[in-house]
Amino acid sequence: MKKLYIVAIVVIGVAIAVIMMSLKNTATYSDFTESASDPEREFHIVGKLDKTQAQVYEPQINPDEFSFFLTDNKGTTKQVVLHKSKPQDFDKSEQIVLIGKMQHDTFHASDILLKCPSKYNDATPKIEQ
């Protein structure tokens, strides 16, 4: 076999291995029950803010810790500790995606994504004649 063919086969093998590893690390949306079953793995939890529970953010003491309660899509409510400052317009968000791990009975989030209400949802289209 020519050296060129061997190099090409090795490059293709490495490319397939890289693709397989990247697919293994992709996360799907989950819930608190699943994240509690595997505390070593990072999960993406989708849910809504529980506005009946208290939110704790004391930037004078620790500006990188914000605590609140979230209800996931299956109806389970858990305390969440976000290891970042409180996001702007947090209380206006319709849906929240947390990225983190469950530790005991608290979800520790390293990142957060907010879906805020669109200013275009309530607009009625004008029909010109």
Any domain includes 22: no
Single pTM value for the model:
0.70
Query: 1: which residues sit within 8 A by CB, 6+ positions away?
Result: none
* E-assigned strand segments in 36-88: 43-49, 56-57, 66-72, 77-82
Any domain includes 5: no
pLDDT tens digit string along 98-124? 999 999 899 999 999 998 776 555 555
Any domain includes 12: no
Q: Residue 117: its pLDDT value, please?
A: 72
Total domains in the chain come to 1
Percentage of the chain surpassing pLDDT 90?
A: 51
**Cβ distance 55 to 67 under 8 Å?**
yes
Range of the domain at 68: 28-115
The average pLDDT across 68-97 equals 92
The CATH number that applies at residue 52 is 2.40.50.140
Closest CA to 83 of 99, 60, 104: 99
pLDDT tens digit string along 79-91? 999 999 999 888 8
